[in-house]
């Protein structure tokens, strides 16, 4: 097969109708540009919105839930094992919020290869005493370094230095809480724990997650500060937050360790299922729009090739008369279509990349998203690959049908027709 000759002929046919060919190629360029830009932008936003919650959410959270004991004394009796037992007025047993044997649990988890890291936490209900008013809130006792490395804590501390939290009796207030208390950096505020212990805390920063409700209620202090505030020993921990190498392992691992340690475990999939759904639907919509654009440009190529074939019937007839067979003619027109697709598509990918760079520079500042300064864009190679592959596939099919028509031209009809 003499491909070089066929390519030369395709090239000559294209240059003969340069304007039409260009229009077809621009159609592909435009749609690929839009496809890449749309997906990059949409997924950038997706990742940012998911990141708002998912970055900060542990993959598995271990804790003790206060609940009635599932094993009531009557269940231990063989006499009643086959009967329906009704017990009224069950109360939660005197279990405590802290995790038993927390140190050995943390040690076991740290040795697990699936675990990137873990961070202990204490959630303590407090009243902030502001003048004569008490404002309820939660002070989270955290291991500052681990919280920063695993859950990007520093990103959300909008004012002040998060490192200062390591000093005892310092607190980073949620932005909402701080606004209500009129607490400035450096102020000392008073908090009362549920046990009635009063403690003075120095405000060293503001925390802003972007989720208003969360920022109204939650503040952060070091784990030691909270232990002291509650009057509990150094082993007192209410939550263990675990980050895994693979998020998909979370449900199985949560179940596994909840069984071993005899504590409660929540995994990220179960808790945040709605985020996955939202992301999935947004992605689906952007793909649908992108592919629609490509199909439309495919119709453009189809039309232009069809016109070209009508104009070039003589050429096709002469080629066939001098010994080109049907497949040769088909290949010529498919080559034209693919050339339009590949050239238009490559330029489209390039322009799409530039458009993404441009969007990434547009300022986008909002109160709710303190870490975001410009529009987020995802530069994942995946979208460029999909765009490239789709541009070739659609142009191939757009070229296939006109090419088939051209290949079935009967030269005798054309030559006799004049």
Partner 1 sequence: MKQGNETVLEARNIDKFFYNPKETQVLKEITFQIPRGEFVSVVGKSGCGKSTLLYILSTMDTAFTGELWMDKELISGKPANYLAKLRNEKIGFVFQFHYLLNEFSVLENIMIPGLKLGKYSREELEHRAIEKLKIFEMEDHALKKAYQLSGGQKQRVAIARALINDPLLIMGDEPTGNLDKKNSDIVYNKFKELAQEFGQTMLIVTHDPEFAAGTDRIIEMEDGRIVGQ
> Footprint of partner 1 on this chain (CB under 8 A)?
2, 4-5, 9, 12-13, 15-16, 314-315, 317-328, 410-412, 414-416, 418
CB within 8 A of 8, min separation 6: which ones?
none
Of 212 and 411, the one with the shorter C-beta distance to partner 1 is 411
Q: Smallest gap, in angstroms, from Cβ of residue 286 to partner 1?
A: 41
Of 254 and 316, the one with the shorter C-beta distance to partner 1 is 316
CB within 8 A of 316, min separation 6: which ones?
309, 329, 406, 409, 411, 414
Torsion, Cα 324 328 329 335, to 10 degrees, reads -140
Q: CA distances (Å), 327 to each of 183, 241, 304, 320, 409, in order? A: 80, 65, 20, 10, 12
Of 91 and 416, the one with the shorter C-beta distance to partner 1 is 416
Q: Smallest gap, in angstroms, from Cβ of residue 336 to partner 1?
A: 12
Taking the C-alpha atoms of residue 418 and residue 407, their distance in angstroms, rounded to an integer, is 20
Q: Quick one: which of 190, 195, 207 has its CA closest to 140?
A: 207
Taking the C-alpha atoms of residue 14 and residue 89, their distance in angstroms, rounded to an integer, is 86
Q: Smallest gap, in angstroms, from Cβ of residue 26 to partner 1?
A: 22
Which residues are paired to 102 by β-bridges?
none
Of 326 and 346, the one with the shorter C-beta distance to partner 1 is 326
Of 138 and 414, the one with the shorter C-beta distance to partner 1 is 414
Q: Tabulate helix, strand, coil % of the chain (nearest 5).
A: 60, 20, 25
Q: Smallest gap, in angstroms, from Cβ of residue 19 to partner 1?
A: 15
Q: Smallest gap, in angstroms, from Cβ of residue 269 to partner 1?
A: 59
Of 246 and 314, the one with the shorter C-beta distance to partner 1 is 314
Q: Smallest gap, in angstroms, from Cβ of residue 318 to partner 1?
A: 5
């Amino acid at each position: 097969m003499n491909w070089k000759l066929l390519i030369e002929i395709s090239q000559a046919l294209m240059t003969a109708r340069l304007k039409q060919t260009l229009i077809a190629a621009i159609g592909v360029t435009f749609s690929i540009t839009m496809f890449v830009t749309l997906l990059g932008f949409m997924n950038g936003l997706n990742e940012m919105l998911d990141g708002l919650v998912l970055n900060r959410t542990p993959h598995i959270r271990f804790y003790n839930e206060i609940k009635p004991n599932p094993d009531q004394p009557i269940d231990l009796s063989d006499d009643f094992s086959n009967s329906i037992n009704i017990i009224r007025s069950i109360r939660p047993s005197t279990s405590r919020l802290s995790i038993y044997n927390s140190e050995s649990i943390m040690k076991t988890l740290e040795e697990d290869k699936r675990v990137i890291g873990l961070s202990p936490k204490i959630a303590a209900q407090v009243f902030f005493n502001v003048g004569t008013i008490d404002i309820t809130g939660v002070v989270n006792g955290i291991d500052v370094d681990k919280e920063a490395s695993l859950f990007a804590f520093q990103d959300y501390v909008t004012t002040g230095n998060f490192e200062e939290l390591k000093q005892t009796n310092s607190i980073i207030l949620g932005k909402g809480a701080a606004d209500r208390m009129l607490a400035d950096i450096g102020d000392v505020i008073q908090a009362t724990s549920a046990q009635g212990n009063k403690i003075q805390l120095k405000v060293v920063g503001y925390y802003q997650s972007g989720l208003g409700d969360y920022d109204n209620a939650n503040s952060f202090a070091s784990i030691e500060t909270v232990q002291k505030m509650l009057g509990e020993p150094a082993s007192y921990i209410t939550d263990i937050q675990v980050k895994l190498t693979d998020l998909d392992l979370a449900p199985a691992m949560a179940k596994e360790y909840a069984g071993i340690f005899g504590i409660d475990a929540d995994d990220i999939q179960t808790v945040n299922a709605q985020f996955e759904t939202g992301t999935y639907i947004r992605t689906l919509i952007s793909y649908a729009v992108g592919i629609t654009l490509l199909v439309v440009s495919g119709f453009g190529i189809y039309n232009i090739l069809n016109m070209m074939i009508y104009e070039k019937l003589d050429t096709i007839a002469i080629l066939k008369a001098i010994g080109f067979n049907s497949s040769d003619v088909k290949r010529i027109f498919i080559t034209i279509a693919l050339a339009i697709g590949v050239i238009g598509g490559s330029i489209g990918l390039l322009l799409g990349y530039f458009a993404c760079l441009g969007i990434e520079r547009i300022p986008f500042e909002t109160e709710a998203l303190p870490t975001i300064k410009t529009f987020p864009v995802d530069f994942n190679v995946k979208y460029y690959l999909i765009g490239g592959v789709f541009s070739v596939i659609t142009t191939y099919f757009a070229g296939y049908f006109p090419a088939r028509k051209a290949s079935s031209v009967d030269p005798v009809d054309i030559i006799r027709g004049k």
